[in-house]
Amino acid sequence: PESGPYGVWRYSAGLPFEEGVSLPEGGTPLHYVPSIEEEVGVNNLRIKHEGMNPTGSFKDRGMTVGVRVAKEVGVDRLACASTGNTSAALAAYGARGGMETLVLLPAGKVAAGKVAQASLHGARILEVDGNFDSCLDIVQDLAARGEAYLLNSLNPFRLEGQKTIGLEIMERFHADEGTYPDRIVLPVGNAGNTAALYKCFRELREAGAIDESDVPKLTGVQAEGAAPMVEAVEEGNDEVRRWDEVETRATAIRIGNPVNAPKALPGIRETGGTAVAVSDEAITEAQRDLAEEGVGVEPASAASLAGLRKLRDSGEVDADEDVVCLTTGHLLKDPDAAYEAGGDPEPVPNDTEAVLDHIDDGSSV
């Protein structure tokens, strides 16, 4: 509809409230990328660009619900551990809701844009000498002691909001193509989004809105240096072994202990999906290719396309599939990574003739 609530809150029938603490969020584009679609070799490829949310990541969809709950409950301090995006979203939505926010970040491992957001929106930022998983351990302790209201994706209200990614994909794709996508490929860190999408599809089925055969195959992608979920899926385990050492250029998904795995693993299994690990080089290549289509994403987001390519190459994804890749965060989140993947600026003199000479030299990127 053209009037009424925008984005996430259009779907209030499936949410715990009629409205939230809103900026507003959701209503993100489902891009066509014809050249990549052809190169990958699938029937249909669309990019759901969650980087187009108010703070530049899908986390906003969860925060609009989670912070509303916090207001309802009357807590005065909100807290999260974060690889960056959750902290940016919490800081903004906390500010919007007039609440104090505390964020714990792994020191030196969070992209510049995200720390800048948390800082300007007024969060108190604590840099922990440890990785994300240690930050989350500490925040859980604080929450258990009643010192803060936890707004990581362990908070089920976050996932309620994130379900709307699935609703928007199903609605838009069906309106455009007359069918539902066969597969949704998404980057996995804590596996909150995977769990949220699975819940979305279960609820759509229970409501009779779709059939079992309409449910897209949930396909998770991790970086090779942080792939405990992939390990669990490949070995057919019901539990995930925590990785203590994790490393990847995609710092957003530099996570060794995916806390939502118990909710997400059944989703991958029961939808007939899979999980795959990709190299940092493949992530960078995918980030460049998306950028060449005008779609600017951060490294973790590009993992979805890199994963699709790998699964297409191995034959696990068929040529006749309709696929949606989720890109979870905006290019500007990680300016350093963007510079690394892109070309460097060329210094030129302050003079038109010299600029012309320089261009004609062909000494471009």
Which positions lie near ligand F0G, rule CB under 6 A? Answer: 57, 59, 82-86, 153, 187-193, 252-253, 298, 300-301, 328-329
**Strand order across the beta sheet in which 44-49 lies:** 30-32, 44-49, 322-327, 183-187, 217-223, 274-278
- Least separation in angstroms between residue 128's CB and ligand F0G is 13
- Least separation in angstroms between residue 187's CB and ligand F0G is 4
- Least separation in angstroms between residue 82's CB and ligand F0G is 3
- Least separation in angstroms between residue 37's CB and ligand F0G is 22
Residue whose tokens read 């994403």: 297
- Least separation in angstroms between residue 41's CB and ligand F0G is 25
| For ligand F0G, the closer CB: 204 or 300 | 300
| For ligand F0G, the closer CB: 127 or 318 | 127
- Least separation in angstroms between residue 129's CB and ligand F0G is 17
| For ligand F0G, the closer CB: 170 or 255 | 255
- Least separation in angstroms between residue 22's CB and ligand F0G is 20
| For ligand F0G, the closer CB: 29 or 353 | 29
The three-state (H, E, C) secondary structure of the chain, written as one string: CCCCCCHHHHHHHHCCCCCCCCCCCCCCCEEECHHHHHHHCCCEEEEEEHHHCCCCECHHHHHHHHHHHHHHHCCCEEEEECCCHHHHHHHHHHHHHCCEEEEEEECCCCCHHHHHHHHHCCCEEEEECCCHHHHHHHHHHHHHCCCCEECCCCCHHHHHHHHHHHHHHHHHHHHHHCCCCCEEEEECCCCHHHHHHHHHHHHHHHCCCCCHHHCCEEEEEEEHHHCHHHHHHHHCCCCCCCCCCCCCCCHHHCCCCCCCHHHHHHHHHHCCCEEEEECHHHHHHHHHHHHHCCCCECHHHHHHHHHHHHHHHCCCCCCCCEEEEEECEEHHHCHHHHHHHCCCCCCCCCCHHHHHHHHHCCCCC
- Least separation in angstroms between residue 240's CB and ligand F0G is 12
- Least separation in angstroms between residue 188's CB and ligand F0G is 4
| For ligand F0G, the closer CB: 2 or 244 | 244
Q: Give me the amino acid identity at 196.
A: A
| For ligand F0G, the closer CB: 5 or 335 | 335
| For ligand F0G, the closer CB: 40 or 326 | 326
| For ligand F0G, the closer CB: 10 or 61 | 61
Q: Cβ distance 53 to 298 under 8 Å? A: no
Q: How many Cα neighbours within 13 Å face the side chain of 320?
A: 0
| For ligand F0G, the closer CB: 228 or 315 | 228
